[in-house]
Amino acid sequence: MAAKMAVPLAHTAETENCLQCRLCHKYHPLRMCGAFRAMKPPQRLAVAKAQGYCINCLALTHTTGECDSSSSCKRCHKAHHTLVHQDAAVKRKPTANAAHQVVARKNSAAPSRANPASRYPGSPPVI
């Protein structure tokens, strides 16, 4: 029987800590995590920041300010990972249709002032 080689515990713990996903606790990079990918970009960004990941490359080994990756977002080419990209138009501007629906709801909820008696069925008309 072959003798097992001793592996230093400090090295093993350090390696496992870098590879273990802080979200689901399995051994894969955050960018490959099914739970992370199931989230919407704002949630992904919040989780990555809260767990101490680099926002540019989603690694645990350094902070965003220390990242030396030349990669950038594939959508806007800024310094964040594509998985945490948020469209500026979605965050800031409501659509014209949504604004129209709000106005339409307000108008339909307002009582009619053309004939006050119509608001009280069964009461005699006021002359």
Number of domains in the chain: 1
Residues whose CB is less than 8 angstroms from the CB of residue 74 and which lie 6 or more positions away in sequence, other chains included: 82, 85
**72-125 tens-digit pLDDT:** 999 999 999 999 999 876 554 444 544 444 444 444 454 555 555 555 566 566
Is 121 among the domain residues? no
Is 29 among the domain residues? yes
Tokens of 84: 């945490």
For residue 56, give the DSSP letter: T
Which residues constitute the domain of residue 79? 19-91
Is 34 among the domain residues? yes
Q: Is 65 exposed, middle or buried (0-12, 13-18, 19+ CB in 10 A)?
A: exposed
**30-77 tens-digit pLDDT:** 999 999 999 999 999 999 999 999 999 999 999 999 999 999 999 999
